[in-house]
Amino acid sequence: MAGASEVAHPKLILRIFKELGDNSYPMSVLLLAGSWTGARALRRHGRDGTLRFLLLWATASIVPLLAVEIWSGYFFAIRQILFTTPALVLLAGYGLSHVGERLTILDLLPHRTSAPAIAYAGLTVIVSVAIAVRHWRSEPVDWRGTAQQLEDTLRQGDVVAMPQINALLEYYAPRLENFRADDLSAGPGFLGREGVQRRFVVCLDSLRPDPCAAFRRAVERDPAWRRQQLRGFTQWQREKQLP
């Protein structure tokens, strides 16, 4: 019943890029633009050893991480690349310090006030505040608790669909892989198979685009499905009807 985990795919590069900035494209752009400026400044100053060290620091973790993920089917998370960020921040700081001494936004103001580094810092603060507000407003997602609750609930004769979130739930509860079934039909589906007594569908509420959108609409008023709200997830359960 269990299919292969979809982890390695073309969107992985975009995920890495976005997660460099705490799941924010603007922050990632600011961070990489500053790092590029710092790398150019270090080369101009002849500090190639420092540049190699910082680039090695920033990249040495990514290649082994991707290799292990593709090999094992593991999920990719922001915490796995956190120690890449300090090297990029150091590069950005060096580059903007160099640029700030050479360029000004307004010639009449002192360079310490009008340097592009100040504008960069201001943009970084604004984006950081926006990210913090987004995190504060977002509903907490209890991956571990949901996985363990499923593991405690499922028994022989059960199947569960976990569209696009199976890799992470199975990380916290590996036994879930034995029950996985790619069945998002609103009807009986796998319940028509011999030996299957109960169907479960678990969907992440914050996932966009929502792979469960059609299923949610179809079962909204269907009494055959019992709904349970978890922290960040919605779970549906349907049992086989006795003849």
pLDDT in tens, 208-240: 889 999 999 999 989 999 999 998 999 999 999
User: Which is it for the CA torsion 124, 10, 185, 180, positive or negative?
Assistant: negative
pLDDT at 131: 78
Query: pTM for the full model?
Result: 0.55
SS3 of residue 65 by DSSP: helix
Cis peptide before 209 (omega within 30 of 0): yes
Mean pLDDT, to the nearest integer, of 84-97?
Answer: 84
Residues 236 and 162 sit within 8 Å (Cβ to Cβ): no
Q: What is the mean pLDDT of residues 48-65?
A: 83
Q: Per-residue pLDDT tens for 94-106?
A: 887 777 665 555 5
Beta strands in the chain (DSSP E): 158-161, 198-204, 226-229, 233-239
